[in-house]
Amino acid sequence: MYFPTTRVLTILELLQSHYRLSGPELAERLEVNTRTVRRYITMLQDLGIPVEAERGRHGSYRLRPGFKLPPLMFTEDEALSLTLGLLVARRLGLTSAVAAVPAVESAIAKIERVLPLALRERVQAVQETLILDFPRTGSTPRTEIVVTLCSAAQQQRRVFLRYSSWKGEESERAVDLYGLVYRSGYWYAVGYCHLRTDLRVFRLDRIVWAEMRDESFVRPADFDSLGYVMRSLAMTPTTWSIEALLETTLEEAQQYVPAVIATLEEAPEGVLLRCSVENLNWFAHFLAGLPCPFIVLQPAELRDELQRLAARIAEMAARTI
């Protein structure tokens, strides 16, 4: 694969290590023609690097006398932060989809190469002993999808998606993305879907293809992407729609009812809990574990599950040896 940025940086390294080099010399080292070398030199100059060109039959390029890029140095905290970030990226599989070589190992090796020996040994100790326990879902999105969506959200430019539903049905849609969220092993994107003319949440592993377009949009001020995703997950239609009244305050209810499980709304008699679940037995256990009285409003089948649970608990409590 062709990476012009790598060759531009290589020219900079060569000019730093040599007093001057001619166009043909640079072209031979980079295996390109002299016209391409001139384009790379212009790119460096546009970045503010003082590359001077000496014209004539024996013309050459050199860095302005006295100019030197400072060496890349890290404090211990910086090196540890970078290492931890790279290890997390590897664990999440964020770099494995499109990298031609193991990107994380390559990046860590480059960091280690510029560290003093004592600091390098500490960083290596973290790599060799730290175990990161993230849930494995088998749903890691492709890296190019993540990068495209992040760029579109940052630049507030519309994206065009081909999206596959949980049923495997594909649709094409234009979306104004407000943010990306990683939670409990899954990646989500939230934004305004022009096909559905409403806010929508998309699982990134279900995005087949994504392209950033020229159309721009304005993101709503103070939009909470994480909060919206969590509320959407709690209310995603499933088998059972739940409503229960918790006899407590909203502040206390928020401490023991995660937003990803249910939505909470202050009511005259307490707090109204709403959610959608597949398994009533599981939710009966969850309700029974809450440290407050509650009333099941719907469905009636949830009351039956609670009664069966109560009978089982009473039976277990009565057992002796």
Q: Which CATH number does the domain housing residue 245 bear?
A: 3.30.70
68 occurs within a structural domain: no
230 occurs within a structural domain: no
End residue of a domain, out of 224, 258, 281: 224
The whole domain housing 188 covers 143-224
In a shared domain, residues 58 and 92: no
For residues 117-128, give the mean pLDDT.
Answer: 82
What CATH number is associated with residue 41?
1.10.10.10
In a shared domain, residues 106 and 86: yes
In a shared domain, residues 80 and 52: no
71 occurs within a structural domain: no
Q: Cβ distance 116 to 133 under 8 Å?
A: no
Q: Is 272 helix (H, G, I), strand (E, B) or coil?
A: strand
In a shared domain, residues 109 and 170: no
Mean pLDDT of the chain: 85
End residue of a domain, out of 63, 86, 114: 63
pLDDT in the model for residue 108: 76
135 occurs within a structural domain: no
Number of domains in the chain: 4
pLDDT in the model for residue 58: 62
Band the pLDDT of 126: cuts 50, 70, 90: confident
What CATH number is associated with residue 151?
2.30.30
In a shared domain, residues 294 and 261: yes
**pLDDT tens for each residue of 34-84:** 888 888 899 888 888 888 888 766 678 988 887 766 655 677 787 888 888
pLDDT in the model for residue 69: 64
In a shared domain, residues 13 and 49: yes
114 occurs within a structural domain: yes
End residue of a domain, out of 224, 256, 290: 224
Q: Is 214 helix (H, G, I), strand (E, B) or coil?
A: strand
Name the residue type at position 74.
F
Q: Tell me how crowded residue 253 is: count the other CB atoms within 10 A of its CB.
A: 22
What length does the chain have?
Answer: 321
**pTM metric for this prediction:** 0.60
Higher pLDDT: 168 or 92? It is 168
pLDDT in the model for residue 5: 73
**pLDDT tens for each residue of 188-246:** 999 999 999 999 999 998 999 999 999 999 999 889 999 999 888 888 878 899 999 99
138 occurs within a structural domain: no
pLDDT in the model for residue 1: 39
**pLDDT tens for each residue of 85-95:** 887 777 766 65
Looking at the predicted structure, is the pLDDT value of residue 106 above 70? Answer: no
69 occurs within a structural domain: no
In a shared domain, residues 115 and 163: no
The C-alpha atoms of residue 196 and residue 262 are separated, in whole angstroms, by 24
Which of 270, 142, 306 is CA-nearest to residue 210? 142
The C-alpha atoms of residue 126 and residue 91 are separated, in whole angstroms, by 14
229 occurs within a structural domain: no
